[in-house]
Amino acid sequence: MNFPPARILAIESSCDETACAVLEDGRALLASTVASQMDIHARFGGVFPEVASRQHVLSVVPVVEQTLANAHLTLGDVDAIAVTRGPGLAGSLVVGMNMAKGLSLGSGKPLVGVNHLEGHLYSGWIYQAGDTPPAEPKFPLMALLVSGGHTELNLMTRHLKYQRLGSTLDDAAGEAFDKVARLLGLSYPGGPAIQQAAGDGNPERFNFPRAWLDGTHNFSFSGLKTAVLREVRTLEKKSNDLPIADLAASFQAAVVDVLLNKTLSAAREFNAKEILVAGGVSANEALRNAFLAQDEFAVHIPPLSLCTDNAAMIAAAGYYRFVNGHQDGLDLDVMPTWPLS
């Protein structure tokens, strides 16, 4: 299906990244800037909400200016302004939203509020402007969303249409990576730290539990986290030298096993044509390799720069909302919790 051309400027500030992007026609990325606060929060071992919102205030204007400059455009050249409305930290969201409202008011361009989770899914449509456009994901599409705050399976039957099949009953996959990293004494954020530590580890050394939750499309990672904790306590009694690489690799293998197999079985059950994996955890190399190694379904996984939080994905989702007639007023409010469907 062909949609009309439109250039979207988007702002994302739901957590600890202040981001802006300009995207054409829902797919071609002209410019994307991400100002990460990761180093600031690392010393607290997690995101410190009040510090995050103050940092967004400092970054948001330069980030928008830099993005427009990189795209060689002015605000007059864009057709609409998209902004993350939720879910996320209220104090962080409000900074991006106020910036977007100001830009909309000053330029007369329409404002489009976007669900952050919907944004993650739309990262699967984006390519760098100037490159040959890759094939678009095909519907019905089985979409696995794995981020720091969410883990869910959605069946996308067409643009903007989601059927949530299941989600985590406790920790999100990214949250499990972050918590296990902390108990292994690794740095924040835990996902990349575990991936690195697991590099030369043996994924079969520890047989950590997999919560299959048969008959459902839900996930659970808290039992796995506790199993790693118990193993660490047992090992600590024997030696001060923990086999961090093997623990990290075995934990990662358990997460990947569940995410891959539950997604494949849902894709079969709902006759999905293809699979999409998105969200911060989709940056995980073991997870990417596992999905790409199977040949039952074509799999779309965004490039690494679009897996973790960014504004290009908000612009992509904003485009499909905008060309479908969706517009918001300046009274648009934040939605700190806002399920996709």
Is 154 a binder of ligand KG4 (CB under 6 A)?
A: no
Question: Measured from the CB of residue 150, what is the shortest distance to Zn ion in angstroms?
Answer: 8
Is 67 a binder of ligand KG4 (CB under 6 A)?
A: no
Which of Zn ion, ligand KG4, none interacts with 55 (beta carbon under 5 to 8 A by kind)?
none
Chain residues 269-328 in contact with Zn ion, contact rule CB under 5 A = 309
Residue 11: strand pairing partners: 20, 83
Tell me how far CA of residue 300 lies from CA of 66, 121, 266, in angstroms.
29, 10, 16
Is 114 a binder of ligand KG4 (CB under 6 A)?
A: no
How many residues belong to the site for Zn ion (CB under 5 A)? 2
When binding is defined by CB under 6 A, the residue of 33, 55, 104, 284 that contacts ligand KG4 is 284
What is the spatial distance between Cα 130 and Cα 106, in angstroms, rounded to a whole number? 31
Is 152 a binder of ligand KG4 (CB under 6 A)?
A: no
Q: What are phi and psi of 193, to 5 degrees?
A: -65, -40
Tell me how far CA of residue 36 lies from CA of 41, 77, 126, 194, in angstroms.
10, 27, 21, 20
Is 195 a binder of ligand KG4 (CB under 6 A)?
A: yes
The site string for ligand KG4 over 175-194 (x = CB under 6 A, - otherwise) reads: --xx----------xxxx--
Question: Measured from the CB of residue 313, what is the shortest distance to ligand KG4 in angstroms?
Answer: 9
Question: Strands of 274-278's sheet, edge to edge?
Answer: 161-167, 151-158, 141-146, 274-278, 298-300
Chain residues 226-255 in contact with Zn ion, contact rule CB under 5 A = none
Question: Measured from the CB of residue 166, what is the shortest distance to ligand KG4 in angstroms?
Answer: 18
Is 115 a binder of ligand KG4 (CB under 6 A)?
A: no
The site string for Zn ion over 140-169 (x = CB under 5 A, - otherwise) reads: -------x----------------------
When binding is defined by CB under 6 A, the residue of 86, 113, 148, 318 that contacts ligand KG4 is 148
Handedness of CA 337, 18, 142, 296 (dihedral sign): negative
Task: Answer whether 33's CB lies under 8 Å from 19's CB.
Answer: yes
Nearer to ligand KG4, 32 or 284 (CB): 284
Cis peptide before 140 (omega within 30 of 0): yes
Query: Which two tokens mark 46?
Result: 């997690």
How many residues belong to the site for ligand KG4 (CB under 6 A)? 19
Chain residues 289-308 in contact with ligand KG4, contact rule CB under 6 A = 308
What is the spatial distance between Cα 331 and Cα 128, in angstroms, rounded to a whole number? 33
What is the spatial distance between Cα 172 and Cα 323, in angstroms, rounded to a whole number? 32
What is the spatial distance between Cα 163 and Cα 322, in angstroms, rounded to a whole number? 21
Question: Measured from the CB of residue 308, what is the shortest distance to ligand KG4 in angstroms?
Answer: 4
Query: Which two tokens mark 298?
Result: 């074509």
Chain residues 5-44 in contact with ligand KG4, contact rule CB under 6 A = 15
Is 123 a binder of Zn ion (CB under 5 A)?
A: no
Name the residues that contact ligand KG4, by CB under 6 A: 15, 147-149, 174, 177-178, 189-192, 195, 279-281, 283-284, 308-309
